[in-house]
């Protein structure tokens, strides 16, 4: 018969650790090298965000003046 007094909690391992250096699974994580296409896409996205930010700032200044 099963005895409750001998029951122990199992150790839990986070399946998705927050720390990228965590190597609990014994598997080396290989970091992907960015390709030129990926870098250019990120730069375009960033430049678009910067242009939008500048445009928004100009619009806010015009609204404040009026």
Tell me if residue 22 falls in helix, strand or coil: coil
pLDDT of residue 61: 94
Query: What is the per-residue pLDDT across 15-66, written as a single tens digit (0 to 9) for each?
Result: 555 555 555 555 555 667 778 888 899 999 999 989 899 999 999 999 999 8
pLDDT of residue 56: 93
How confident is residue 11, by pLDDT bands cut at 50, 70 and 90?
low
| Non-local CB neighbours of 13 within 8 Å, separated by 6+ positions | 24
Q: pTM higher than 0.95, yes or no?
A: no
């Amino acid at each position: 018969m099963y005895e409750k007094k001998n029951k122990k909690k199992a150790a839990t391992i986070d399946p998705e650790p927050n720390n990228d250096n965590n190597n609990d699974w014994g598997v080396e994580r290989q970091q992907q090298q960015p390709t030129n296409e990926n870098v250019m896409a990120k730069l375009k996205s960033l430049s678009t965000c910067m242009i939008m930010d500048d445009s928004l700032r100009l619009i806010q200044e015009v609204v404040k003046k009026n």
